[in-house]
Structure 1
């Protein structure tokens, strides 16, 4: 690794849009282990380590460092990789770097996500005291209490705790100096790039109010709160973080959600999203990204034709709840009741009369409900 550059890891296609991922104080780019590989499907992700973290060279930072110094190192890394403009997501101190870049180098940032971070990390004195303690005593005691600061009770990521313990004390203390001097509250309104603030609802270090302050001050910014997440949300709730970042940074998931609404209707998608849990979040993202973001957007077939194919497949497999949903979708895609009936009649030949009989009953009920709704 070039000793003048931040330690980093690149994943994803070289031709994909670049996305830089910043870490929090005390962690390494392993913080993104459960998220970055998925983001790398549609982006060229670049994870970077703070100096002295994750085995990286501590010599790139020294006493009195600022967040601006770290931002300059990120820009030097981007330059070395041939990246002129990039999307950026960062956690805590990594999020502060993103805010600094968006204020001072807006031409370099295309879109920004700030996770479990703040425009000001409390009083400067406590960070100066922590820096002095670490320079004097090392990181063993802080690392021993990392779980309480980073996660909800009973949850841990041993790799991240180990990275905290093994970080270079001088580089860690210099990062504390940077946090002590950081305050961008008065300049948030200058940020002009699309911005997402992500809060862990159970985060004691940067509680949701800190992210709400950012979202309220940055024009057009949005806020997502993740239930059950503390300070290191990408490690504790990766599915929810992944869903939020995919929707913000675009790609198949963002486009797929729009198409899903157009075909199935706002009410259905709203119900699906309202019912989403951490257990189902990854499946919902898969549906939006793959079924709706890749297949339904393929221009080879029209939406009318796709509705006909979908109806036939659902009849063949006997998926009657989905069939009712897609009879409504077929009407939204322009099929007449007569055309829907013709599709179902053809399924009687190739899928069997009993299957078609059940399908006609479902379709007749749905069409009658639509007629009654239009008449009312």
Structure 2
């Protein structure tokens, strides 16, 4: 047993900052399927399974286990992977593990996110009763009622319910023992890692007051409440969870939004955000993170040079609506009308005279509009 590690899945560049993701009771690392691949763009993401869940061996846990025991298994995994210091995000029981690590091993946790979890889980009695039920009858009854505990009415993730059906009953019961004994309320003020709390407003298991209690006690902690989300918000509302986690762990989205506003102007960004729908939200997030949060913030080239390149590329592909927007952006980035004209003249040689002719007409209109606004 001492040589066994928690089953885990690693994604993302090996050289990227490590980020460990912990699951909730009854689920596997599949809980993070809609979020982990996106987080792995900027992090070395490591998802792990609870003992007896997913691919983790049931013998990793014993009756009477504690959250501290689970945290020790996570640290053993981190040590085996060479992760001295890491970011951590966990759901429910996985979140409790994160709180324990932040209190008892502050040197290991660089940043913490606790999702749909608590510093206590409503006392020992209900968890001892659940543990006894599972030891006597297995997990069939709990699996049949999982949707009502995990999701809002009408929503389900069959894979996660199947994870619960396939979990080892004794290991599940031992995890219940850990929740029964867990109460970290008197230690929350000791947490020094930057901390984010995410609550589902429709969560019956760990409702928002549980997360608010942690946010009020942990210095500098932030709280995000997700409307329409229940206990497994990471599976039910992955886009909203992803946005919050990105902002917390690497700040790429806010940084990208700031640059986007500087280059394109507040009016344009405000209009784009006003038009945003759930269907387009991920695309807008993609633009903010990649185009504006990574490419436009790369110090290798200045914004003047980037504007010149962008104007040329837009002419080459005939994107004249975008060209108008980036002529305005080029002016904000310090290009004169004469320099913009020189760029477009260059495109006549390499992109073709008809394309340059259309580009000059577009740019002339935009520059005239700007002159009128200034006068």
Decide: shared fold, TM above 0.5. Answer: yes
- Segments ≥4 residues shifted beyond 6 Å: none
Name the structure 2 match of 1:16.
16
- The answer for unaligned runs of 5 or more in structure 2 is none
Name the structure 1 match of 2:38.
38
Name the structure 2 match of 1:313.
313
Shift of 1:238: 2.5
Residues 147 and 4 of structure 1, relative CA distance in 2, 3 Å threshold: same
Name the structure 2 match of 1:108.
108
Name the structure 1 match of 2:291.
291
TM-score by length of 1: 0.87
Give, in whole Å, the separation in 2 of the partners of 1:108 and 1:274.
41
Residues 349 and 238 of structure 1, relative CA distance in 2, 3 Å threshold: same
Task: Please tell me whether the aligned partners of residues 199 and 211 of structure 1 are also in contact (alpha carbons under 8 angstroms).
Answer: yes
Task: Please tell me whether the aligned partners of residues 152 and 202 of structure 1 are also in contact (alpha carbons under 8 angstroms).
Answer: yes
Q: Per-residue CA shift, 1:56-90, capped at 9, x if unaligned?
A: 22222223222122112111111122111001111
Name the structure 1 match of 2:188.
188
Counterparts of 1:177-256 in structure 2 under 5 Å? Answer: 177-250=177-250, 253=253, 255-256=255-256
Give, in whole Å, the separation in 2 of the partners of 1:19 and 1:93.
17
TM-score by length of 2: 0.88
Residues 96 and 284 of structure 1, relative CA distance in 2, 3 Å threshold: same
Counterparts of 1:167-178 in structure 2 under 5 Å? Answer: 167-178=167-178
Shift of 1:93: 0.8
Name the structure 2 match of 1:6.
6
Give, in whole Å, the separation in 2 of the partners of 1:274 and 1:87.
33
Shift of 1:283: 1.5
- The answer for unaligned runs of 5 or more in structure 1 is none
Give, in whole Å, the separation in 1 of the partners of 2:212 and 2:367.
45
Give, in whole Å, the separation in 2 of the partners of 1:297 and 1:81.
31
Name the structure 2 match of 1:121.
121
Name the structure 1 match of 2:160.
160
Residues 35 and 255 of structure 1, relative CA distance in 2, 3 Å threshold: same
Residues 130 and 282 of structure 1, relative CA distance in 2, 3 Å threshold: same
Task: Please tell me whether the aligned partners of residues 42 and 251 of structure 1 are also in contact (alpha carbons under 8 angstroms).
Answer: no
Larger deviation: 176-185 or 81-90? Answer: 176-185
Task: Please tell me whether the aligned partners of residues 243 and 282 of structure 1 are also in contact (alpha carbons under 8 angstroms).
Answer: no
Give, in whole Å, the separation in 2 of the partners of 1:227 and 1:277.
15
Larger deviation: 148-157 or 224-233? Answer: 224-233
Larger deviation: 266-275 or 156-165? Answer: 266-275
Task: Please tell me whether the aligned partners of residues 55 and 167 of structure 1 are also in contact (alpha carbons under 8 angstroms).
Answer: no
Shift of 1:299: 3.8
Shift of 1:2: 7.2
Q: Per-residue CA shift, 1:286-325, capped at 9, x if unaligned?
A: 2233322343234443210111221233344443443333
Give, in whole Å, the separation in 2 of the partners of 1:185 and 1:366.
59
Counterparts of 1:127-142 in structure 2 under 5 Å? Answer: 127-142=127-142
Shift of 1:27: 0.4
Shift of 1:245: 2.0
Name the structure 2 match of 1:95.
95
Larger deviation: 108-117 or 314-323? Answer: 314-323
Give, in whole Å, the separation in 2 of the partners of 1:363 and 1:219.
51
Give, in whole Å, the separation in 2 of the partners of 1:256 and 1:177.
44
Task: Please tell me whether the aligned partners of residues 240 and 278 of structure 1 are also in contact (alpha carbons under 8 angstroms).
Answer: no
Residues 262 and 61 of structure 1, relative CA distance in 2, 3 Å threshold: same
Give, in whole Å, the separation in 2 of the partners of 1:209 and 1:276.
30
> Would you say 1:264 and 2:264 are equivalent positions?
yes
Name the structure 2 match of 1:63.
63
Give, in whole Å, the separation in 2 of the partners of 1:105 and 1:270.
43
Name the structure 2 match of 1:25.
25
Q: Helix, strand or coil: the match of 2:122?
A: coil
Q: Per-residue CA shift, 1:19-45, capped at 9, x if unaligned?
A: 111000000111112222332233222
Task: Please tell me whether the aligned partners of residues 240 and 281 of structure 1 are also in contact (alpha carbons under 8 angstroms).
Answer: no
Give, in whole Å, the separation in 2 of the partners of 1:327 and 1:40.
35
Residues 254 and 77 of structure 1, relative CA distance in 2, 3 Å threshold: farther
Q: Helix, strand or coil: the match of 1:155?
A: coil
Larger deviation: 203-212 or 327-336? Answer: 203-212
- Root-mean-square deviation over aligned CA pairs: 2.8
Q: Helix, strand or coil: the match of 1:6?
A: coil
Give, in whole Å, the separation in 2 of the partners of 1:220 and 1:261.
27
Give, in whole Å, the separation in 2 of the partners of 1:80 and 1:137.
36
Q: How many residues are paired up?
A: 375
